[in-house]
């Protein structure tokens, strides 16, 4: 579903030299699986996610999603992915959860009965139905993060990219969040997420890729990785 073949990305530094943030990364995420990308700060996780969400182009290499080469058909790929950053950015705090979802669904031309139904379904999925008419500023971090997920699902993406999705969440909120992710994968959504926490990545991922200094260090199931250490 997601395939990176020898993808590199170079940034120009202020002094004019090139900095290689990603060096020939190859990665394969199968449909309906949860894939965790783990690595220390500066490893290249965000760069990878930005390339996959089409915010950034690779300097070289090939990215394919659903069999479509990203560089050749950005729009076709964009319709099927959604990218959710960690934290509470991109929500309107003075609006209610329902109003936020109404606002964002307009971006996907979702209107009328279809819009109402979709919002109802998503509020239920992320367990915010009871507080849907309360302002987001009254929400806990976990509630805001669940609302972010709902927002990310408005366009029925087949691929969901999550950058540090559980950052700042307490244990219970993180658990609730992970259950939503598992539910989505069980229904066929392909999920790639980044994290600093090995324990969390092991717990949630079908497959794990460890990245460091722009290179893949290891890749496999949690069990495979453990037996190789």
- Residue 21 belongs to what H/E stretch? strand 18-29
- Give the CA dihedral 98, 105, 178, 199, nearest 10 degrees: -120
| Least distance from ligand ADP to the Cβ atom of residue 151, Å | 12
Task: Convert residues 2-41 into a mask of x (bound to ligand ADP by CB under 6 A) and - (unbound).
Answer: ---------x-------x-x-----------------x-x
Binding residues for ligand ADP, rule CB under 6 A, total 18
Q: How far apart are CA 122 and CA 14, in angstroms?
A: 44
With respect to ligand ADP, which residue has the nearer C-beta, 92 or 103? 92
With respect to ligand ADP, which residue has the nearer C-beta, 43 or 161? 43
Near ligand ADP by CB under 6 A: residue from 55, 73, 74, 92: 92
Opening angle at CA 57, ends 62 and 42, nearest 5:
100
102 contacts ligand ADP (rule: CB under 6 A): no
Residue 23 φ/ψ, nearest 5 degrees: -120, 95
With respect to ligand ADP, which residue has the nearer C-beta, 22 or 118? 22
With respect to ligand ADP, which residue has the nearer C-beta, 27 or 118? 27
With respect to ligand ADP, which residue has the nearer C-beta, 40 or 188? 40
Give me 193's structure tokens. Answer: 């997420």
| Least distance from ligand ADP to the Cβ atom of residue 199, Å | 18
Q: Where are the alpha helices (DSSP H) in the chain?
A: 45-52, 74-78, 97-107, 112-125, 141-152, 171-186, 198-204, 222-228
Q: Where does residue 226 fall: left (phi above 0), alpha (psi -120 to 50 degrees), or beta otherwise?
A: alpha
| Candidates 91-99, 114-122, 146-154, 185-193; binding stretch for ligand ADP (CB under 6 A) | 91-99
With respect to ligand ADP, which residue has the nearer C-beta, 86 or 157? 86
Specify whether the CB–CB gap between 27 and 2 falls below 8 A.
yes
42 contacts ligand ADP (rule: CB under 6 A): yes
| Least distance from ligand ADP to the Cβ atom of residue 197, Å | 14
Q: How far apart are CA 140 and CA 142, in angstroms?
A: 5
Judged by the rule CB under 6 A, the positions of this chain that interact with ligand ADP are 11, 19, 21, 39, 41-47, 88-89, 91-94, 137
């Amino acid at each position: 579903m997601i395939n990176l073949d020898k993808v590199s990305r170079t940034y120009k530094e202020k002094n004019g030299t090139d900095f290689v943030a990603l060096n020939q990364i190859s990665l394969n995420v199968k449909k309906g699986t949860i894939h965790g990308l783990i690595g220390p700060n500066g490893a290249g996780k965000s760069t990878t996610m930005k390339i996959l969400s089409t915010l950034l182009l690779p300097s070289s290499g090939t990215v394919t999603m659903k069999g479509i080469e990203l560089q050749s058909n950005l729009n076709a790929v964009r319709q099927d992915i959604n990218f959710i950053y960690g934290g509470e950015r991109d929500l309107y705090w003075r609006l209610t959860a329902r109003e936020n979802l109404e606002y964002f669904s307009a971006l996907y031309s979702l209107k009328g009965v279809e819009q109402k139904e979709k919002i109802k379904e998503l509020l239920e999925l992320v367990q915010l139905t009871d507080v849907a008419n309360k302002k987001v500023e009254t929400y806990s971090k976990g509630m805001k993060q669940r609302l972010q997920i709902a927002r990310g699902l408005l366009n029925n993406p087949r691929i969901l990219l999550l950058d540090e999705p559980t950052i700042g969440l307490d244990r219970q909120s993180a658990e609730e969040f992970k259950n939503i992710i598992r539910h989505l994968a069980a229904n066929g959504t392909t999920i790639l997420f980044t994290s600093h926490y090995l324990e969390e990545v092991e717990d949630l991922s079908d497959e794990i890729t460890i990245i460091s200094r722009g290179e893949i260090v290891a890749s496999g199931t949690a069990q495979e990785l453990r037996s190789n250490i």
